[in-house]
Amino acid sequence: MALGHPQIFFSGIGWVWKDNTGKIQLMGTRNLRRRETTLHSELEALKWALESMLQHSNCQHFGTDCKDLIAMIKELQAWPNFSTELEAIQIILMCYSDFKITYVPRTHNEI
């Protein structure tokens, strides 16, 4: 039995925390089993970033290059196929006193 190419089974996610001047303070990367869809992976990445940042501040501004992810956070009921993941994120968001998520074009999404 052939195991196949590892990229078929895994995907990578990451986050970067920059201060007000744009200086990188922390970053994280993680290798995950590939999810059902790219949006599932985007949700997993956001959930992990939210959990990680809570250790440092409950007031954060997040950026993503995924417009659908922003739409999901703003209109949970419109995405029933992702209800389990969105519910977990909503629970984490209750810990934030100030939360913002904005679109950052991929061309500006660099470290």
Residue type, 57: S
CA distance 45 to 30: 9
Give the Å distances, CA to CA, from 110 to 16, 47, 103: 9, 20, 13
Question: Residue 63: which of 11, 10, 107, 12 has the closest Cα?
Answer: 107
Higher pLDDT, 70 or 57: 70
Q: Does domain 9-16+25-108 have CATH number 3.30.1200.10?
A: no
The domain locations on the chain are 9-16+25-108
State the pTM of this model: 0.83
**pLDDT tens profile 47-64:** 999 999 998 887 789 999
Q: What is the pLDDT of residue 111?
A: 66
Q: What is the pLDDT of residue 68?
A: 96
So what's the pLDDT on residue 1?
44
Q: What is the mean pLDDT of the chain?
A: 87
